[in-house]
Chains A and B, each alone.
Chain A
Amino acid sequence: MTDGTAIDPPLGLLAELTHRCPLSCPYCSNPENLDRRSGELDTETWKRVFAEAAALGVMQVHLSGGEPTARADIVEITAHCRDVGLYTNLITSGINVAGAKLDALADAGLDHVQISFQGDISDHADHVSGMQGSHARKLELAAQVTGLGLPLTVNAVIHRGNADRVREMVQFAVDLGARRIEIAHVQYYGWALRNRDALMPTAEQVRTSTAAVDQARADFAGQIVIDAVVPDYYARRPKPCVGGWGRRSLNVTPAGKVLPCHAAETIPHLTFPNVRDRSLSDIWHHSEAFNAYRGTDWMAEPCRSCDRRDVDFGGCRCQALAMTGDAGATDPACQLSPFHARMIELAETAVAEVEASPMDTRYDYRRFL
Chain B
Amino acid sequence: MIGDATIPALPRGVRLREDQARGGFTLMAPERVLKLDPIANEVLKRIDGTATVAMIVDDLARTFAADRAQIDRDVKSMLQGLADKRLLDLTGND
When the two chains form their complex, are residues A225 and B26 in contact, meaning their CB atoms are under 8 A apart? Answer: no
Interfacial residues of chain A within 175-208, with CB under 8 A of chain B in the complex: 179-180, 182
Determine whether the beta carbon of A60 is less than 8 Å from that of B28: yes
**Smallest CB separation, A137 vs chain B (Å):** 22
Contact in complex: A59, B30 (CB < 8 Å): no
- Interface residues in A136-155 by Cβ distance below 8 A to B read 148-151, 153
Q: Mark B50-94, 1 if CB is under 8 A from A, else 0.
A: 000000000000000000000000000000000111100000000
**Residue total for B at the interface (Cβ-Cβ under 8 A):** 20
A11 on the B face (CB < 8 A): yes
Within 8 A of A (CB), among B3-52: 11-15, 17, 19-22, 26, 28-31, 33
A contact patch SS: loop
The answer to whether A59 and B17 have CB atoms under 8 Å apart is yes
A288 at the interface (CB under 8 A from B): no
| A293 to B84 CA separation, bound complex (whole angstroms) | 37
Docked Cα-Cα span, A148 to B17, in Å, equals: 22
Question: Is A221 in the interface zone, CB < 8 Å from B?
Answer: yes
Which of these, B12, B17, B31, B33, contacts A149 with CB under 8 Å?
B12
Determine if A60 and B11 form an interchain contact, defined as CB atoms under 8 angstroms apart. Answer: no
- Judging by beta carbons under 8 Å apart, are B22 and A180 in contact? no
Contact of A179 among B17, B20, B26, B86 (CB under 8 A): B86
Contact A221 B17 (CB under 8 A): no
| Sampled A-B contacts (10; CB under 8 Å) | A60-B31, A87-B28, A111-B12, A148-B12, A151-B12, A151-B29, A179-B30, A180-B86, A222-B84, A225-B86
Q: Which of A8, A57, A112, A225 contacts B85 (CB 8 A)?
A: A225
Total number of A-B contacts with CB less than 8 angstroms? Answer: 65
Are A85 and B17 in contact (CB-based, < 8 A)? yes
Per-residue interface assignment for chain A, residues 1 to 44, with 1 indicating a CB less than 8 Å from any chain B CB and 0 otherwise: 00000001101100000000000000000000000000000000
- Contact of B84 with A11 in the complex, beta carbons under 8 Å: no
13 additional contacts (CB under 8 A) given A111-B30, A112-B29:
A57-B21, A59-B19, A59-B26, A87-B28, A89-B30, A112-B13, A112-B31, A151-B13, A151-B86, A153-B31, A179-B30, A222-B84, A227-B31
Tell me whether A112 and B30 are in contact (CB under 8 A).
yes
A254 vs B31: C-alpha distance when bound (angstroms) = 22
Q: Are B17 and A111 in contact (CB under 8 A)?
A: no
**A56 beta carbon closer than 8 Å to chain B:** yes
The answer, yes or no, to whether A224 is at the interface (CB within 8 Å) is yes
Question: Cβ of B22 and Cβ of A57 under 8 Å apart?
Answer: yes
Most chain A CB atoms below 10 A, which of B22, B85, B86? B86
Contact yes or no, A9 B21, CB < 8 A: yes
Q: Distance (Å) between the CB of B74 and the closest chain A CB?
A: 20
A57 surroundings in chain B (CB, below 8 A): 19-22
Report the minimal beta-carbon distance from B42 to chain A, rounded to whole angstroms. 21
> In the bound complex, what is the Cα–Cα distance between A263 and B94 (angstroms)?
51
Contacts of A222 in B (CB 8 A): 83-84, 86
C-alpha spacing A221/B84, complex, angstroms = 7
Closest CB pairs A-B (n = 8)? A57-B21, A151-B13, A87-B28, A179-B86, A149-B12, A112-B30, A151-B30, A111-B13
Q: Which residues of B contact A59 (CB under 8 A)?
A: 17, 19, 26, 28, 33
A6: shortest Cβ distance to chain B, in Å? Answer: 14
Q: Given the complex, which residues of B lie within 8 Å of A153, measured CB to CB?
A: 30-31
Q: Binary interface profile of A, 59-94, with partner B (CB < 8 Å = 1, else 0)?
A: 110000000000000000000000001010100000
CA gap between A238 and B1 in the complex, in Å: 39
Residues A11 and B33 in contact, CB atoms below 8 Å apart: yes
A242 → chain B, closest Cβ, in Å? 14
Count chain A CB atoms within 10 A of each CB in B11, B15, B29 and give the residue with the most: B29
Closest to A114 in B: B30
Of A11, A12, A149, the contact of B11 (CB 8 Å cutoff): A149
| B25 to A: closest C-beta gap in Å | 12
How far in angstroms is the closest Cβ of chain B from A368?
30
